[in-house]
């Protein structure tokens, strides 16, 4: 019969009905292995119950029917993946028409993972988490933490986590102040109006002009670098992982910039090498230390990291266009008589191509012939298109990082804990009870066919169990008297 081939599935309170053969189309899945011995089978209602999402199951059942898996737009991507994993299906079988919408959540999860590493607006860690981070978990659990082990995390949060406390904000403000003062001082001391003639050089026998910064800048540099030295030393001593601390690019920049100051003092000669003065520019890179104090700068840095492929593609096409147009403009200007030819070689043409493709246009070099002007026009158009193509991707990445950061800042710091619920398992007693119920149904149907016993049709079913007593099924035409025996109920007809 057709009814014997059908199966009823109750998913989240909504009943779905299909054929058993339909569920056999995709083998090695949960639905293809349904049997009445499962714990979620209800013999009375003759259905299987699953406490899962009914909206997603509608698409899953349609996948069994049609062989095409579509993604419902009204559910979140991770929820859809969890449901597919529960039913034993592969998420990579989603149809191409839904794949772009479905795969968005993976980019979102990658973005959230990056934001978790940035420690932007994160919940304050517990004492156990701090002890685990510093490698003191065993000592914390046994209660044998030393005084240094207790103070080390607190000092680290003061100098490396600006938003952990009010004192940390004060130290962060001092650090930002000295960074700005150091950079401003480094720039201002090159101004001619703020320099004086060198006192240690005799200008009577030389035409050399020597100037040095005002003594004020020397004092400012000493004060700023004293703070940087103290900060770097303290952070190194209390860092949770010394190796990771030394591998950090920002810490490397801070160390090299501080070292350059002491090298500058040690090599205190009358004429410093130009190479040594050039390396002092590393102090400007201290501005990258501001990324520890500004979430926006962190987002900007990771935006460029996330857009590395697009930036690499941009550089590749720029180099390709620069080389091509430099060669073209060189031979175009050389092909005609041009006494004012500015393109003496292809390397000089490379400079012109860079300036033109980046739409800067200094005007120091320009083609004079018609062929050169045509090449210049093509070079400018190619530069605009090449630079404009990856820009929307970079802007989109920054917008994605920024929007998720704003959303995380508005979320509650603590979430309510949800306890896991163990799935029910079918007990042997329940199986035995179901068999007894089936026996009762069959006996009730055959009661009318039984021969009379003492003018009473009686079927005695001695059923001994924890919850179902023994019963008797009988036909009667009068009152009854109830006589009981242990574990058995018998109704006896009272003759009148």
Domain CATH number, residue 314: 1.10.287.70
Max Cα separation, the chain?
Answer: 152
Please check whether residue 23 lies inside any domain of the structure. yes
Range of the domain at 37: 3-102
Task: Name the domain boundary from 102, 129, 156.
Answer: 102
pLDDT of 329 strictly over 80? yes
To the nearest 10°, report the CA torsion of 219, 225, 226, 231: 160
Please check whether residue 336 lies inside any domain of the structure. yes
Q: Tell me how crowded residue 83 is: count the other CB atoms within 10 A of its CB.
A: 21
Nearest residue to 19 via CA among 2, 9, 5, 29: 5
CATH code at position 55? 3.30.710.10
Q: How many domains does the structure of the chain reveal? A: 4
Say yes or no: 169 and 212 in one domain.
Answer: yes
Specify the pLDDT at position 65: 93
pLDDT of 437 strictly over 70? no
Specify the pLDDT at position 434: 53
Round to whole Å and give the CA distance between 140 and 128. 7
pTM of the model: 0.60
pLDDT > 90 fraction of the chain, expressed in percent and rounded = 27
**Which position has the higher pLDDT, 206 or 495?**
206
Say yes or no: 96 and 155 in one domain.
Answer: no
> Stretch 155-168: mean pLDDT, rounded?
86
Please check whether residue 403 lies inside any domain of the structure. no
Which residue has 């520890």 as its token pair?
292
- Residues, the chain, total? 496
Distance of CA 496 to the CA centre of its chain: 85
- pLDDT digits 0-9 by tens, 442-455: 554 554 444 444 44
**Which position has the higher pLDDT, 160 or 412?**
160
- pLDDT digits 0-9 by tens, 114-148: 777 666 555 677 777 788 888 888 888 888 888 88
DSSP 8-state assignment for residue 6 = E
pLDDT > 70 fraction of the chain, expressed in percent and rounded = 76
Say yes or no: 255 and 196 in one domain.
Answer: yes
Say yes or no: 276 and 315 in one domain.
Answer: no
Say yes or no: 283 and 315 in one domain.
Answer: no
Say yes or no: 339 and 285 in one domain.
Answer: no
Distances (CA, A) of 169 to 182, 300, 365: 20, 22, 52
pLDDT of 288 strictly over 50? yes
- C-alpha R_g of the chain: 41
Distance of CA 341 to the CA centre of its chain: 56
Mean pLDDT (the chain, rounded)? 79
Say yes or no: 198 and 255 in one domain.
Answer: yes
Say yes or no: 437 and 467 in one domain.
Answer: yes
Task: Name the domain boundary from 223, 258, 293.
Answer: 293
- pLDDT digits 0-9 by tens, 50-95: 999 999 999 999 999 999 999 988 888 889 999 999 999 998 889 9
């Amino acid at each position: 019969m057709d009814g014997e081939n059908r199966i009823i599935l109750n998913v989240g309170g909504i009943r779905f009905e299909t054929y058993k053969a339909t569920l056999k189309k995709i083998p090695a899945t949960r639905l293809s292995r349904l049997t009445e011995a499962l714990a979620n089978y209800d013999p009375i209602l003759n259905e299987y119950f699953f406490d899962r999402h009914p909206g997603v199951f509608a698409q899953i059942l349609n996948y069994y029917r049609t062989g095409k898996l579509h993604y419902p737009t009204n559910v979140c991507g991770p929820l859809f993946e969890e449901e597919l994993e529960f039913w034993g299906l592969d998420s990579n079988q989603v149809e191409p028409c839904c794949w772009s919408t479905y795969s968005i959540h993976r980019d979102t999860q990658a973005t959230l993972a990056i934001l978790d590493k940035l420690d932007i607006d994160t919940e304050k860690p517990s004492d156990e988490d701090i002890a685990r981070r510093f490698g003191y978990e065993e000592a914390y659990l046994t209660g044998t933490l030393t005084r240094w082990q207790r103070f080390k995390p607190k000092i680290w949060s003061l100098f490396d986590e600006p938003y952990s406390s009010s004192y940390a904000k004060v130290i962060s403000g001092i650090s930002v102040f000295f960074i700005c003062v150091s950079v401003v001082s480094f720039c201002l001391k090159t101004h001619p109006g703020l320099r004086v003639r060198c006192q240690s050089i005799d200008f009577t026998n030389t035409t050399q002009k020597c100037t040095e910064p005002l003594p004020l800048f020397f004092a400012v540099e000493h004060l700023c670098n004293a703070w940087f030295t103290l900060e770097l030393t303290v952070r190194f001593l209390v860092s949770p992982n010394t190796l990771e601390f030394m591998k950090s690019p920002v810490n490397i920049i801070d160390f090299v910039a501080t070292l350059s100051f002491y090298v500058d003092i040690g090599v205190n000669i009358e004429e410093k090498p130009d190479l040594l003065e050039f390396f002092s520019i590393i102090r400007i890179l201290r501005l990258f230390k501001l990324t520890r104090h500004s979430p926006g700068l962190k987002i900007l840095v990771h935006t460029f990291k996330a857009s590395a492929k697009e930036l690499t593609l941009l550089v590749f096409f720029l180099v390709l266009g620069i080389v091509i147009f430099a060669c073209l403009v060189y031979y175009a200007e050389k092909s005609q008589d041009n006494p004012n030819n500015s393109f003496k070689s292809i390397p000089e043409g490379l400079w012109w191509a860079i300036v033109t493709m980046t739409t800067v246009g200094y005007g120091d070099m320009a083609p004079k012939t018609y062929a050169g002007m045509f090449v210049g026009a093509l070079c400018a158009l190619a530069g605009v298109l090449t630079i404009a193509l990856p820009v929307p991707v970079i802007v989109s990445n920054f917008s994605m990082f920024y929007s998720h950061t704003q959303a995380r800042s508005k979320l509650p710091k603590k979430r309510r804990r949800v306890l896991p619920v163990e799935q029910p398992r079918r007990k042997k007693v329940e199986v035995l009870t179901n068999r007894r119920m089936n026996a009762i149904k069959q006996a009730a149907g055959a009661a009318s066919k039984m021969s009379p016993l003492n003018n009473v049709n009686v079927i005695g079913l001695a059923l001994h169990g924890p919850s179902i007593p023994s019963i008797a099924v009988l036909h009667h035409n009068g009152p009854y008297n109830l006589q009981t025996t242990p574990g058995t109920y018998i109704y006896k007809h009272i003759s009148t």
